[in-house]
Structures are given as C-alpha cells and as structure tokens.
Amino acid sequence: MSDWSRATGARLIGDRAPGELAAPRETITGNRGLQIEENLIFEQGSLGRCGIDLADPPLFRARLGGLERQGPIGLPGLSEPQVVRHFTRLSQKNYAIDSGLYPLGSCTMKHNPRLNEKLARLPGFADIHPLQPVSTVPGALVLIDTLAHWLKTLTGMPAIALSPGAGAHGELCGIMSIRAALEARGERRRSRVLVPESAHGTNPATAAACGYNVDSVSGNLQGRVDIEALRAKLDTDVAALMLTNPNTCGLFENEILEIAAAVHAAGAFFYCDGANFNAIVGRVRPADLGIDCMHLNLHKTFSTPHGGGGPGSGPVALAASLAPYAPLPWLVHGAHGLELVEHKKGKTQQAIGRLKGFHGQMGMFVRALAYMMSHGADGLRQVAEDAVLNANYLRVRLKSDLSLSFPGPCMHEVLFDDCFLRETGITTLDFAKALIDEGYHPMTMYFPLVVHGALLIEPTETESKASLDHFADVLKALASKARLGDTARFHAAPRWTPRRRLDETAAARKPVLRWHPEPIEQQAEQ
C-alpha cells in the first residue's frame, strides 16, 4: 500500500466531505508542478481585448434589411499570448499517442505520421473550394481517384463510396445501399438486420435508423458467431448481416465463407464493419471473404489522426451488386478523363442520393493516401503482421496474470475479462484507473459485451517490443497487487491526473452544458 493511500484510506467518488482537502493536492495554487489549473476563456476575457488586428471597415450603408444584431453576444476578448497559453495548458491535460501507448481496443490508436499533416495543408488541397470549376482542380480528382484505386485493390471490391464522414456514416451508406438494392429487386418486405452480440453500438443504431428491426445473433464458446444460431435466423425476412471481422473479441471469424454463403443463400446482403481492417490489410481482401459491403475507417487503419474525436472518414467498399446505389457524387473515368458526377443521370440514376455536403473528407483522403504510399503494398502487409504479432505477444506475456477470454491466437487485439479480479473487490474500471496512475491510457473497458468486465487491448504495429514489455510488466505488477489485496491503490485511482474520478452521475442528473455568467448577487458576495 502506498503512503498516500495509507494516509487517506480508500475513497470512492463522493466520499469526501464538502470543503475537505485532498492531502497531496495541498498547494497554494491548486497547481501541481507542470499540471496547471486553467479557467475557462469566459472567466479570463474582457470585452475590449482582441487577439487579431483587423483593418477598420470602410464606411458603408448596411444592407442587412434592418436585421442588425443588437446587444452583446457575450464572447470574451483575449490577446494572442493568452489564447496560446490557454490552449497549451489544456493540451497538457490530455493523453495522446504522441505521449504514450494508447491500447484502446477497436479504436486503433497508431502513430500519425507528420508528413501527412504537411501534405494535407498544401494550398493545392486545403485552399481549394468544392464548387470551383472542376477544370481548376484536376489534381484533386487524381488524388481521389488514386485513393479509390488503392482502397479497391486492398479490398478487392469494384467500387468505393468516398463521401461518408466517419465509420458510422459509412454504415448508414452501406445499409441504405443494401435497402436500395433490395427495393430495386422488389423486396421491400425484408425487415430484419442480424447483428452479433459483440457488435459495435453503431451497427444496431444504424440498422434501426434505416427502419430495420435489429435481431441479435449469439456467439459460440470460441468468441465467434454461432453459425447454427445464425442459420436458424436467416430467412426471407432478413435484409443483411452486419458482422465485424476480425470481430470485437479480436478474433477472425474462421467460418466466414460459410457465413457468407448462408447469408447469400437467404437472399440477404453481407455487410462487414471494417473497423478492424488494420489486422488484415494487405494479407486478406474482404471481397474474397464473400463480403458485399464494408466501411473503412481512414482514422483507424490508415492513420488519419483521431483529433480528440474526429473528424473521421468512412469510405465504403461495394460489391458489383451494390455499386449502382453508391451515394453522389461519383468520380468516373469518362471520355475526357476524370469526371465528377454530382447529379442523378445515366449511370448514377439509381444512386441513393447525397449523404453529405460537397464531396467527402478531402483532408483525410490526402493523409490516408500519403500513409498508404509511404507503406506501399509490402509495408501495409507488414502493418497487419506487426499489429497481429504485437497483440499476440501481449497475449502470451499476460495470459497467466490476466484472464484471457478465448484461447488461441488473436488478431490485432486481445480480449481479457475480469475473472482475474474475482474476489478482490476490484473492478475492471478500478484496474483501468490504476493503469492511468502508472502513465498509461486504459484499454477499452466493458466492451465487447459478450464477456464480463471486458478489457480489450490493441497495441497496434507502431509500438516497439520494449514498449510492449514495459506495458506488460506494469499490467502484471498491477494484477499482482490486486491479488495481494492492495485494493486502496485501485479504489483511489487515478491519483496523479489533473482531475481524479469524475462524477458522471451528477453530470447527467443536472446537466451543465455551457458556461453562464455568475448571477449578480453571487458576484457581489465575493
């Protein structure tokens, strides 16, 4: 037990009496060395200050139709140094791949090459308008076409829809395309989409958004889809199966060809959630697995930065049966070279329509193409192999200390459950929070839902062996502390972060979603 936890005892959220100070936090400022407290911009600004010097507008007679905005907006004024310091301090309260291993299973937190940032900012990409004459952007069309060629070659699919803004948007695109294809064959009645229990939440949410009933398919003891349970559900009422492969247990669906055959025999479509494509890129083409439709998260497999939650990009690879329904716009090879088709006409008559403003996430396309060209066909294959090797290395290093959910090799991520914490009084959440104190971002917790207290670890291929060894040593040491009854360490964690455990229940019970000026009487008291 550490000195600190001995001094204070284990405390859960909300245990502290109002006004009571946390012993190790007692500095005059509330700061802790490099961790500096930072107020909101609204609490720092003053009305007259401005961080940008703009010319005086010339005299003019407004043509706003008498609708000039009246009264203050309430935005604070700050100088440039104040703004730079504010956001620098905020950045220092974040964990990032740049600062350490980020083992979030299913999220694929790999290194983001800086070349890609540089190229996306070239004026020839960043400073072009989506509606300027197409004749003035031939290089942009070539870039998009090249990206499409790489993605089609890697997936083995004949068509790719590039406009979806993120993975979930890609799912929407895929399920809409499937519905359009079914309607075109006169099959409006199919009302169900099958989704395995282990699926990402976006899968059932997408199917439901497109008007389908979600029917859950159970897994087998090996962490894969139970093919007999699937067959029992497949009938002429099923529109599609949405399957993640490799799945969210980090396992390849070894009966995938049989699954595809069964889905097709029922007249349904096979949608694959491509969130985990990074495990097989360059080694397996989804088309060869019988998949009809798969979204790719460019921010996962192809390393465009996650950016604290976006922007993403979710192109969708489509089989020939679904290609006619791809959303607008289309980029086609015409008689005069590349053509951008923005409306329904001729070949695009059956397109599902538009899913997003303009043409898609160009900034992400540039980054993803730079990533792919840097690796090449050989390097992408190596990416998949190293991702799988790293995950399996952690699997064997940890299997006797943590409890492995499924035996045998995994793909790019390895799933543990909370059996190893049984009787310790420590939960998966506590264990993860203790990992934070040791300088690591936690793994994905409590997902997938098919095992109890899941801990899903995805190291990615951009970690060195030394990095993996250190991480494994830390996890083993923590598991040992848990077994030996050092519960205070876990319950009190995290202790060294800018904030300790946050009260999420209170946040949801009485939501405070924006800053408000303090009421005048309170200000008067201070």
Partner 1 sequence: MRYLPLTDPDRREMLAAIGVDSIDALFADVPRAARLDGPVDLPRAMGEIEVERAISGMASRNVAAGSVPFFIGGGAYRHHIPAAVDHLIQRGEFLTSYTPYQPELAQGTLQYLFEFQTQVALLTGMEVANASLYDGATACAEAVMMANRVTRRRKAVLSGAVHPHYREVCETYARFVGFEVAALDPAPGGDEDPTGLVGRDTSCVVVQNPGFFGEIRDYSHLARHCHAAGALLVVVVTEVLSLGAIVPPGEMGADIVAAEGQSLGNALNFGGPHLGLFASRDKFVRQMPGRLAGQTVDADGRRGWVLTLSTREQHIRREKATSNICTNSGLCALAFTIHLALLGETGLTRLARLNHAAAIALAERLERIPDVRVLNQAFFNEFALRLPRPAAAVVDALAERGVLAGIPVSRLYPSWTELAGILLVAATEMTTTEDMDRFDRALREALS
Residues 122-161 that bind partner 1 (CB under 8 A): 122-133, 135-140, 142-143, 146, 150, 153-154
Distance CA 355, CA 364 (A): 17
Q: Which residues contact 195 (CB under 8 A, 6 or more apart)?
A: 203, 204, 207, 214, 215, 216, 217, 241, 242
Closest to partner 1 by CB, 513 vs 524, is 513
Structure tokens at 99: 């600062």
Q: Which residues contact 193 (CB under 8 A, 6 or more apart)?
A: 175, 207, 210, 212, 213, 214, 215, 238, 239, 240, 241, 242
Q: Strand order of the sheet with strand 455-457?
A: 403-404, 414-417, 455-457, 444-445
Query: In this chain, which of 1, 311, 321, 470 binds partner 1, going by CB under 8 A?
Result: 311
The pattern of x and - marking residues 28 through 57 that bind partner 1 according to CB under 8 A reads --x-------x-xxx--x-xxxxxx-xx-x
Distance CA 277, CA 211 (A): 27
Closest to partner 1 by CB, 112 vs 403, is 112
Could you give the count of Cα atoms lying within 13 Å of 372 in the half-sphere of its Cβ?
25
Structure tokens at 441: 């971002």
Closest to partner 1 by CB, 255 vs 321, is 255
Q: DSSP for 214-276, please give it.
A: EEEE-B-TTSSB-HHHHHHH-STTEEEEEEESS-TTS---TTHHHHHHHHHHTT-EEEEEETT
489 binds partner 1 (CB under 8 A): no
Query: In this chain, which of 27, 261, 310, 485 binds partner 1, going by CB under 8 A?
Result: 310
294 binds partner 1 (CB under 8 A): no
Query: In this chain, which of 220, 254, 400, 480 binds partner 1, going by CB under 8 A?
Result: 254
Least Å from the CB of residue 87 to partner 1: 5
Closest to partner 1 by CB, 144 vs 421, is 144
26 binds partner 1 (CB under 8 A): no
Contacts to partner 1 from residues 422-441, by CB under 8 A? 432-433, 436, 441
Least Å from the CB of residue 364 to partner 1: 7
Query: In this chain, which of 249, 366, 414, 455 binds partner 1, going by CB under 8 A?
Result: 366
Size of the site for partner 1 (CB under 8 A): 218
Contacts to partner 1 from residues 264-283, by CB under 8 A? 280, 282-283
83 binds partner 1 (CB under 8 A): yes
Structure tokens at 349: 């008559």
Contacts to partner 1 from residues 384-423, by CB under 8 A? 385-386, 388-390, 392-393, 395-397, 409, 411
169 burial type by CB count under 10 A (0-12 exposed, 13-18 middle, 19+ buried) = buried
118 binds partner 1 (CB under 8 A): yes
Least Å from the CB of residue 246 to partner 1: 9
Specify whether the CB–CB gap between 162 and 148 falls below 8 A: yes
Contacts to partner 1 from residues 450-479, by CB under 8 A? 461-465, 467
Least Å from the CB of residue 485 to partner 1: 22
11 binds partner 1 (CB under 8 A): yes
Least Å from the CB of residue 282 to partner 1: 6
Closest to partner 1 by CB, 145 vs 483, is 145
Q: Please report, for residues 117, 342, 398, 410, 432, the alpha-carbon distance to residue 278 in angstroms, rounded to integers and kept in the order given.
A: 21, 31, 23, 13, 25
Residue 104 is given by DSSP the state B
